[in-house]
Amino acid sequence: MDYSKEEKLVIQTSMEYSWDKFWGAIEEAADSKGEMNEVDVAIGLILEGVSFMKGAGMTEVELLDHVKEHYNSIEFDKDGNMIDPISAPELSKSEA
C-alpha cells in the first residue's frame, strides 16, 4: 500500500507514541514490587488492542497479518538484544 508523506508521518508518530506507552507500562509493572508482572501486562495490552481493532472493523485475517508481519520483522543482535526494524530501522540488517 502506498502512503502519502503526511500519512507516513502520522503512522510513524503513532508507532513512536505506542512504543513509549507500551514500554512505560512494562517498566511500571516491573517496578511494582510484585503487584503486577510484565508478561500479564503485555498480554492485557495486546488483548485490549485486539478488542479495539475488532470494534474498529478490522478482520481477524487483517489483525493476524499485522501481528505476523511485526513478529517476523524482529531481529536480535549478537548479545541477544531485540532489534525492531520498525522502531529502530537503522540497526536492522533487513531492508525495512
* pLDDT, tens digit, 9 for 90 and up, residues 33-52: 999 999 999 999 999 999 99
Q: Domain locations in the chain? A: 22-56, 59-96
Within 10 Å of residue 49's Cβ, how many Cβ atoms? 13
Interatomic CA distance for residues 87 and 11, integer angstroms: 12
The pLDDT mean for the chain works out to: 88
**Distance set, CA 77 to CA 25, 57, 93, 96 (Å):** 24, 37, 10, 16
Judged against a pLDDT cut of 70, whether residue 90 lies above it is answered with no
